[in-house]
Amino acid sequence: MRISPCGLALLLTLACSHALAFTGPKPGDVVEVSLEQVHPTQAVIGFDQVYYKLERFAKDRQKLFDEICENNGQDEAKPINDSADPLRPESFACKDQPNAHPQEMSTVVVGPDGQFYLTDGHHIFSALWEQAGAGPQMKMNVRVTDVFSDSADMATFWTRMQQAHKVWLKDGNGQSISPDQLPAHVGLQSMHNDILRSVVYFVRGAAYDKPTSGDVSPEFLEFYWADWLRGQLELADFNLSERSGYHRALQVASDLMVKPPLSKPVGGGMTAKQLGGFKSVRRKVLTETANEKLPLVIDYKDTH
Q: What is the pLDDT of residues 188-245, one digit of tens each?
A: 999 999 999 999 999 999 999 988 765 555 679 999 999 999 989 999 999 999 999 9
The strand pair at 192-193 and 44-45 is best described as parallel
3-state secondary structure of 190: coil
pLDDT for residue 151: 98
pLDDT for residue 99: 86
Residue type for 253, please?
A: A
How many angstroms separate the most distant Cα atoms in the chain?
A: 85
Tens of pLDDT along 81-107? 999 999 999 999 999 998 899 989 999
The ranges of the chain annotated as CATH 3.90.1530.10 are 23-193
DSSP 78: P
pLDDT for residue 4: 54
Residue 266: count of CB within 10 angstroms of its CB: 22
Residue 202: count of CB within 10 angstroms of its CB: 25
Integer angstrom CA distances of residue 248 from 44, 46, 207, 251: 24, 18, 14, 5
User: What's domain 23-193's architecture?
Assistant: Alpha-Beta Complex (3.90)
Q: Rounded to two decimals, what is the model's pTM?
A: 0.90
Judge contact between 37 and 149, C-beta under 8 A.
no
